[in-house]
Amino acid sequence: MSWQSKLLGLHMRWTVKPWLARVENPGDFSSDVDMLRPLLRRPPFLRRFSRPDGLTWISASLTRENAAILYFHGGAYVAGSPDGYVGPLAQLSTLSGVEICAPRYRLAPEHPFPAAFEDAVRAWKKLRRLGYRPRDIVIGGDSAGGGLALALLSRLCRRGTPPLAAFAFSPWTDLAMTGDSLTENADLDAMLPADRMAEVVDLYLNGRSPTDWRASPLYGVYPDCPPVLLQYGESEILRDDSVRMAARLRQYGATVTEEALPDVPHVWQILDGWIPEARASLESTGRFVQSAFEDDATIR
């Protein structure tokens, strides 16, 4: 662990984690999360623009033609937006050589499950209408957005139209909260308070089953699954959501790459420019995306 990551972890442990633990209503911190946007660094030559169907696109360099990363932001299904991810996603676009489409999706409690999943499906369909084929698209996301990406992956695999590949940063895959890391890492996690997770689940699910695969992709099926990259921290309370997700995908013959780092904060990848682990993980993701497109070109 770098000294920058160690220092940041201490800061989060003494400021961010207590703040999240004392928020009276988890559904009220959306505006506070948006205040963090200025802290996420942006690369030079950043471009953000819209195309038909209202999709937001992000890049910062030359990109591959007829290729897209469909990325879903995190925020526990109650907060966040693509606006807060422009900098890190632009950097990922540069490192992968692929434009990134970052759609908005409806948030709880105003729009509980399955609204977010329905919006993820709608974003996929919009890309298809723009002329992108399944093998032109890599899907990804972080935290709750990583769960959305993997739930969408299950739907697409079921229908025989899987994307080229998928990746997820510390995905939330089990809203039934059965992973041992929720208790084992409760004190180790520098950011997320484990004892508030059930409240967020209730806000989002609004009485629906926590094992519905559209909310908890750990319980999904993945026939003919493409390659998947999962990055997660060993000290996160959501560690087992990735570990068990990898095992689930492998049951269906998927090639899964796991990259587990010690003592990094939740979704450290968005902290590019602040900790070296963020850039290293984004570079690895960029290589994963590039390799997927290059392998597909070779097969064709």
* Residues that are catalytic: 143, 236, 266
Task: Answer for the pair 116, 143: CB distance below 8 angstroms, yes or no.
Answer: no
H or E stretch at 100:
strand 99-101
Q: What is the dihedral sign for C-alpha 100, 104, 105, 107?
A: positive
Greatest Cα pair distance in the chain: 54
Nearest to 84 by CA among 61, 110, 107, 109: 107
Spell out the residues 6+ positions from residue 171 whose beta carbon is closer than 8 angstroms to its own: 141, 142, 143, 146, 147, 149, 150, 217, 230, 232, 238, 241, 242, 245
Task: Answer for the pair 143, 75: CB distance below 8 angstroms, yes or no.
Answer: yes
The token duo for 233 is 């921290």
